[in-house]
């Protein structure tokens, strides 16, 4: 019986290892908070009309490519205890490049001309929200990717510069759901697709070219190759569990 128990333990460990092989040891994909309403991509920000689209519920989302690009979508609501009817809200979009340092620190460097913020303070702005450029470099002390067995989804924990964890993010899409990684709204002084010497002569043409690319992307946004990730306990999970249990049952039959 002891040997059977040991075998069961080893078998389940093997099954767990096989399942874990599907997890990413990287950030690749689109991650979203528990509200599951905030996602990066064209459903959050329209760079053609420079329009931020307010989600139905607050939340945050980060997307990461395998070659060092990221995108961020944030919808934050801050309550006002003294004036409950006066909550503040901010909708923020950023994208740019990311780097993972040798010590595990994650650095997000935005394309400064592309960041946007829509800020609402209804009791002080007389019903007119402010829409501005936004650029904020972010440094996370570390991050963890793991399988959350309770929710059956892969989970990303980002630890802020002081070491405190942010709210958990769950894998929503892979490949990630993102807008193009180049500069979306280039100016004459900053264009990620051309050098500074070229910007003055080709800036307007580059801008039209990028805008045309984005427009085509938005028109085909429902044809994206991003695959929505639901619960991990899907067909693949049950296949591996079933195979493992069949193997365990066969050995148990031979032993007894």
- Residue that the structure tokens 């939340």 belong to: 59
Q: How far is CA 226 from the centre of its chain?
A: 12
Span 31-60, pLDDT tens digits: 999 999 999 999 999 999 999 999 999 999
Number of Cβ within 10 Å of residue 160's Cβ equals 13
Which pLDDT belongs to residue 85? Answer: 81
Span 195-241, pLDDT tens digits: 333 333 344 444 445 555 455 555 544 445 566 666 544 545 545 55
Which pLDDT belongs to residue 150? Answer: 84
Question: The whole model's pTM is what?
Answer: 0.70
pLDDT tier, 137 (very low <50, low <70, confident <90, very high otherwise): very high
* Per-range mean pLDDT, top range of 5-14, 149-158, 222-231: 149-158
Question: Is the pLDDT confidence value at 20 over 50?
Answer: no
Domain that holds residue 34: 2-255
Inter-CA distances, 44 with 18, 173, 223, 226, Å: 35, 15, 17, 15
Question: Is the pLDDT confidence value at 3 over 60?
Answer: no
Span 161-192, pLDDT tens digits: 999 999 999 999 999 999 999 999 887 655 54
Q: What total number of domains does the chain contain?
A: 1
């Amino acid at each position: 019986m002891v040997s059977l128990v040991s075998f069961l333990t080893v078998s389940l460990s093997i099954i767990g290892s096989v399942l874990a092989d599907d997890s990413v040891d990287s950030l690749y994909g689109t991650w979203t908070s528990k509200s599951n309403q905030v996602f990066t991509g064209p459903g959050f920000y329209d760079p053609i009309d420079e329009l931020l689209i307010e989600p139905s519920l607050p939340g945050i989302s980060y997307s990461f490519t395998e070659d060092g690009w990221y995108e961020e979508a944030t919808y934050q609501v801050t309550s006002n205890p003294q004036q409950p009817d006066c909550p503040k809200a901010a909708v923020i979009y950023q994208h740019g490049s990311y780097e993972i340092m040798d010590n595990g620190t994650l650095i997000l460097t935005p394309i400064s001309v592309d960041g946007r913020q829509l800020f609402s303070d209804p009791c002080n702005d007389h019903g007119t929200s402010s829409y501005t450029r936004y650029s904020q470099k972010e440094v996370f002390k570390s991050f963890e990717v793991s399988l959350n067995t309770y929710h059956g989804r892969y989970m990303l924990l980002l630890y802020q510069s002081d070491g405190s964890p942010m709210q958990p993010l769950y894998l929503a899409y892979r490949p990630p759901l993102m807008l193009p990684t180049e500069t979306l709204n280039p100016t004459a002084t900053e264009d990620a697709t051309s050098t500074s010497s070229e910007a003055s002569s080709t800036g307007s043409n580059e801008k039209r070219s990028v805008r045309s690319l984005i427009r085509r992307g938005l028109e085909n946004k429902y044809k994206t190759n991003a695959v929505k990730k639901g619960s991990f306990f899907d067909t693949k999970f049950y296949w591996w569990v079933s195979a493992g249990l069949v193997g365990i049952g066969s050995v148990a039959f031979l032993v007894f």
